[in-house]
Amino acid sequence: MSSKSRIAAPKFRPTFLMGVMGVVMFSALDLSSYCHPTEEGDRMATAIKTAGMLLNRRVPDPTAEESYDYAELTWRMLEDVEFKDVYIEELDAYYWKPTFGDIVNGLEGKEVHITGYMIPVDLDEDFYVLSRYPFANCFFCGGAGPESVIDLRFEGKSPRVYQTDERLTFAGKFRLNSDDVYQMNYILDGCFEHTP
């Protein structure tokens, strides 16, 4: 019998075996949570994203020619708050007192940018609010909660008259308010229009 007619046994390389084992292990994983995320999983993902943003912040260098990079603030992050009805005797009314979660508390004092819909609350007082939703569905129309709006505080007067439902991005320093019933819970100090 010649050597050419023999059938050689296949030789498997170690990398091939490792690849097969990896495919088998990957197929055994339960990946259903990626297709159907849970509320807890969503909160964890938001917390991880927020922590990453806060750790990767650059300190502004006034001598640098590049523009300062503000961290993105999302409306999803601002959902990390719980409200409780509290009665205020001097007003003879109840209001929703916020208790901010770790994500929101970790953002206080940070330079951020956020995109939303403009709501001119009082043009004479130069009072504008940025909303997660257009006017027809916003907090002031009863369609959303107080976590869906942020008070825009410009340096001096606003640079122009903004129209209802203009979709814009603003940057500034994020501040929390849990005690003053005459202000929003979220405030963006020193804000200005921003292009991310």
**pLDDT given at position 65:** 38
Tens-level pLDDT at each residue, the chain (196 residues): 555 555 555 555 556 555 655 555 545 555 454 455 566 666 655 555 555 544 444 444 444 334 567 999 999 999 999 988 887 778 777 778 899 999 999 999 999 999 999 999 999 999 999 999 998 767 666 667 789 999 999 999 999 999 999 999 999 999 999 888 888 899 999 999 999 8
**pLDDT given at position 136:** 76
**pLDDT given at position 61:** 43
How far is it, in rounded angstroms, from Cα 70 to Cα 67?
9
> Would you say 166 and 147 are in contact if contact means Cβ atoms under 8 Å apart?
no
The pTM for the full model equals 0.64
Query: Greatest CA separation found in the chain?
Result: 107
**pLDDT given at position 69:** 78
Domain boundaries, the chain: 50-59+68-193
Taken in order 169, 175, 180, 185, the sign of the CA dihedral is positive
Secondary structure string (H, E, C) spanning the chain: CCCCCCCCCCCCCHHHHHHHHHHHHHHHCCCHHHHCCCHHHHHHHHHHHHHHHHHCCCCCCCCCCCCCCCEECCCCHHHCEEEEEEEECCCCEEEEEEEECHHHHHHCCCEEEEEEEEEEEECCCCEEEEECCCHHHCHHHCCCCHHHEEEEEECCCCCCCCCCCCEEEEEEEEEECCCCCCCCCEEEEEEEECCC
CATH of domain 50-59+68-193: 2.40.50
Token digits of residue 69: 């990079």
**pLDDT given at position 144:** 73
**pLDDT given at position 44:** 59
